[in-house]
Amino acid sequence: MISSIDLLLALIDQAFDRKAWHGPNLRGSIRGLDAATAGWRPAEGRHCIWEIVLHAAYWKYTVRRRLLGEKRGSFPRKGSNWFHAPAPVTEAAWAEAVDLLEETHKTMREAVVWLRPADLDFRPAKSRTSNFALISGIAAHDIYHAGQIQLLKRLALGESD
C-alpha cells in the first residue's frame, strides 16, 4: 500500500518531470525551447512562456516556504506571482528561468519528502489550505501550465491540428 507522502511525491513528479499518461509535464513542455519562443506573446497583456515558468517557480517556492514555515521574501527575484519578462528574452535569461524552476522544484520536493503523514492535515494559521491540498494543488498547477505552454508553443510556431 502506497503512503500518502509517496502518493503526493508521485503526483508532483508526474506533473513536473516524470513520464505520465496525460501527456507532457511542465518540464517536458519547455524542453528544447529557445528564448525567442519563450518570450513570444499571443497578444499585448498576455503572458509569455518565460513568465509562466517564473510564475510556476514562484509557487513551488511558496509551497516549500509554507511547508517549512519559512518567512516570505527569499525568492531570488523581486516581486511575487507574475514577473515581467525582459524584452527581448535572451538565451541567458531563458536558461536562468529554467534553472530557477528546476531548483525550486527540487527544494519543494525535498520539503515534501521530510513530511510525516500527520503533517498533511496541518493548516497554517490564517489558512484554509491543508498541506495535503497545497501539495496536490501544486501538481495540478504544473499540469495546467504545461497545457498552457503547449498551446502557446503551437501558436508561436504557427502550428495547427
In a domain, 76, yes or no: yes
In a domain, 25, yes or no: yes
Tell me what pLDDT residue 161 has: 60
Query: Domain containing 13: what range?
Result: 4-156
pLDDT digits (tens, 9 = 90+) for 107-149: 999 999 999 999 999 998 788 999 999 999 999 999 999 999 9
Read off the pLDDT band of 160 (50, 70, 90).
Answer: low
Read off the pLDDT band of 81 (50, 70, 90).
Answer: very high
pLDDT digits (tens, 9 = 90+) for 13-31: 999 999 988 889 999 999 9
In a domain, 138, yes or no: yes
CATH code of the domain containing 118: 1.20.120.450
Number of domains in the chain: 1
In a domain, 120, yes or no: yes
User: How far from 137 is each of 54, 66, 88, 107, 134, CA to CA, in Å?
Assistant: 17, 13, 32, 17, 5
Q: How far apart are the first and last CA of the chain?
A: 41
Rounded CA-CA distance 105/16 in Å is 8
In a domain, 161, yes or no: no
In a domain, 146, yes or no: yes
Mean predicted lDDT score pLDDT of the chain: 94
The answer to whether the pTM exceeds 0.85 is yes
